[in-house]
Amino acid sequence: MSFTYGAYTACLQDRTLPEALEVLRGIGLTGAEVNTGGFIPSPHAPVDALLASERARSEFLQVFADAEMQLTGLTASGNPLSPLPTEGLGHAHDLRRTIELAGLLGVRDVVAMSGTPGTDPGARYPAWIVNPWNGIDLEILEYQWSVAVPFWKEIDALARTHGVKVALEMHPRNLVFSPPSFERFVELVEPTNIGVNLDPSHLFWQQMEPIDCIERLGSYITHVHAKDTSVLPGAATRGVLDTDFGPVPEDPAQRTPTGMGHYCSTWPEDPAWRFVAIGEGHDAEYWSRFLAALAAVDPQLNVNIEHEDAAFDRVEGIARGAKTLLAAAAQSGL
């Protein structure tokens, strides 16, 4: 067996599922990961119908078979621990339904985020504690873990029941955003069916080395998002945790969506970093070494491109990434 190379279809939400799969197959990919809830809607998977009807599930899977593509993951990335009524309960519900649906569809991988609670039981907003050298911050973290642990123990049991693996994105603004924070998660939750979705872009952003992270996390890596980051000259004076962003543009045409009803703030003119298409931040030789490190952990991983580079059209961005990724795969014999 070897890696399955595909893409996350959320950026192709303006196309039908057959059309999106045709795009991916046309650029040499063989797998697709679809969204089923969380921060963004579910344009390519009618979750209610799929949960309710075996016939609907059969027809859904036939779309992939007809396109000669594999369904390699369901994604419900959100904040299931958020105190916001528009996030926490709904995102947790989406995640539970996604796990159940993955089991019914025979899909191994469910992608999620660990989430971020508020600072205390009365908090209105989630709060990400980044550098808790202050004792008060450590107290906040202890409270947040007390919220996270029972929730994720429940989710782990649910995933075990349905025979799927939940893969957490180590994304900033979450309790789990680095190998050490995931190791704390493992110590406290003792999961059997929760691992890591290795997305190197989030690690590059934080100035980590993804290959070192792969070696440290080992078999906990159960899924991969292929995405690149470019750290820019602005980092010299802004740092990669820069907060100098402006409000969401008033003109809807100028807004960049980050989820259903959520939009990206306005970036600084000289940003410290940005997500880029694969190959725009690191060349094929780097990605060859990246894939080799993953193969040493598990040669049967699903590797899906996630396109978030606003400099390129959606199809062009995925195609550029696929060209680099498949060249790296050929170079490394994977």
pLDDT at position 310, please?
80
Hey, what are 228's tokens? 């690149």
* C-alpha distances in Å from residue 303, one per residue of 152, 201, 253: 24, 14, 32
Q: Does residue 118 carry a pLDDT above 80? A: yes
Instruction: Tell me the residue range of the domain where 154 lies.
Output: 4-332
Hey, what are 6's tokens? 């595909």
Q: Is the distance from CB of 35 to CB of 76 less than 8 angstroms? A: yes
pLDDT digits (tens, 9 = 90+) for 73-95: 999 999 999 999 999 999 999 99
How far apart CA 84 and CA 115 sit, in angstroms, is 12
Report phi then psi at 308, rounded to 5: -140, 30
- % of the chain with per-residue pLDDT over 70: 98
pLDDT at position 253, please?
78
Q: Does residue 120 carry a pLDDT above 70? A: yes
Q: What average pLDDT does the segment 94-111 reach?
A: 98
pLDDT digits (tens, 9 = 90+) for 159-186: 999 999 999 999 999 999 999 999 999 9
pLDDT at position 90, please?
96
Residue 15 region by backbone torsions, left for phi larger than 0, else alpha for psi between -120 and 50, else beta = beta
pLDDT at position 266, please?
84
Structurally, the chain folds into a number of domains equal to 1
Residue 259: pLDDT band (50, 70, 90) is: low
Residues in the chain: 334
Q: What average pLDDT does the segment 234-251 reach?
A: 88
CATH number at residue 211: 3.20.20.150
Predicted TM-score (pTM) of this structure: 0.95
pLDDT at position 35, please?
97
Q: What average pLDDT does the segment 194-216 reach?
A: 97
Q: What average pLDDT does the segment 214-223 reach?
A: 98
Task: Output helix, strand, coil percentages for the chain, rounded to the nearest 5.
Answer: 45, 15, 40
pLDDT at position 257, please?
64
- % of the chain with per-residue pLDDT over 90: 83
Residue with the two structure tokens 């995102």: 91
pLDDT at position 280, please?
95
pLDDT at position 132, please?
87
Residue 46: pLDDT band (50, 70, 90) is: very high
pLDDT at position 92, please?
98
Q: Does residue 261 carry a pLDDT above 70? A: no
pLDDT at position 265, please?
82
Residue 320: pLDDT band (50, 70, 90) is: very high
Hey, what are 239's tokens? 């740092």
Q: What is the mean pLDDT of the chain?
A: 94
pLDDT at position 65, please?
98
Residue 25: pLDDT band (50, 70, 90) is: very high
Q: Does residue 1 carry a pLDDT above 70? A: no
Which residues have a Cβ under 8 Å from the Cβ of 34 and sit 6 or more positions away?
Answer: 8, 9, 10, 17, 42, 44, 45, 71, 73, 74, 75
Q: Does residue 216 carry a pLDDT above 80? A: yes
